[in-house]
Amino acid sequence: MRKWWVGIFSLVLGCSSLHGAPNQERTALYILETAKAFRTVYANSVTEQTKRAGVIPLEEWTKDDHAIMLPVQFIKAAGAEIRDFELTLIGLTPIYKSNLPKTPAEAEALKTLVSNPQQKLLTFSEGNQFKAISADFAIAQACADCHNSHPASSKRDYKQGDLMGAIIVRLNQ
């Protein structure tokens, strides 16, 4: 899987250079839009097709021969394969503390998105990193249902379309 994701992101980054030297904001936007597109296709097409075949998305998917990873795990797994920048998800009320913002500036940016979900994208520099966060909505009712029913979830009233957090890319400057 590593070669496939690295290849996709290399393609995206390479395409940006066709339009002149890319700035960090444009690069971050390409990365975020690509990640969101793949996650949306995975959540809306792949998981729905596999459900019809009796294979379901589960958090503990590696322990079940008839399961696949959750869409959030798909993005996090792809992000873990990338070495040149960070790609992950963050939230103010995540199921796992590892998905909290890393810095106060990230938390403030996420609060800004929560207060104005139509904004959808924020970029900022912090220390030696350029960061971009993109609003992450419950794109399927199954996303909301999973969070609402998870024993570790502190929020249990998500609905499809609700802002659940953000996808973040951290680029070294």
Tens of pLDDT, residues 63-90: 999 999 999 999 999 999 999 999 999 9
Q: Which residue has the higher pLDDT, 170 or 19?
A: 170
pLDDT band, residue 22 (cuts 50/70/90): low
Per-residue model confidence (pLDDT) at position 117: 86
Do 70 and 57 meet the contact criterion of CB atoms below 8 Å apart?
yes
pTM above 0.75, yes or no: yes
Predicted confidence band of residue 7 (pLDDT cuts 50, 70, 90): very low
Is residue 3 scored above 80 in pLDDT? no
- Number of helical H runs and strand E runs in the chain: 6, 6
pLDDT at 173: 86
For residue 18, is pLDDT > 80? no
pLDDT digits 0-9 by tens, 103-151: 999 999 999 999 998 898 899 999 999 999 999 999 988 899 999 999 9
Beta strands in the chain (DSSP E): 56-57, 67-68, 85-90, 121-126, 129-137, 163-172
Triad 26, 130, 4: Cα angle to 5°: 60
Percent of the residues in the chain that have a pLDDT greater than 70, as a whole number: 87
Phi, psi angle pair for 140, to nearest 5°: -140, 150
For residues 123 and 142, give the distance between their C-alpha atoms in angstroms, rounded to a whole number.
29
Residue 111's pLDDT is 97
Instruction: Tell me the per-residue pLDDT of 86-105, one tens digit each, with 9 for 90 and over.
Output: 999 999 999 999 999 999 99
Instruction: Decide: 104 and 145 in contact? Cβ < 8 Å.
Output: no
What does the pLDDT average to over 34-46? 94
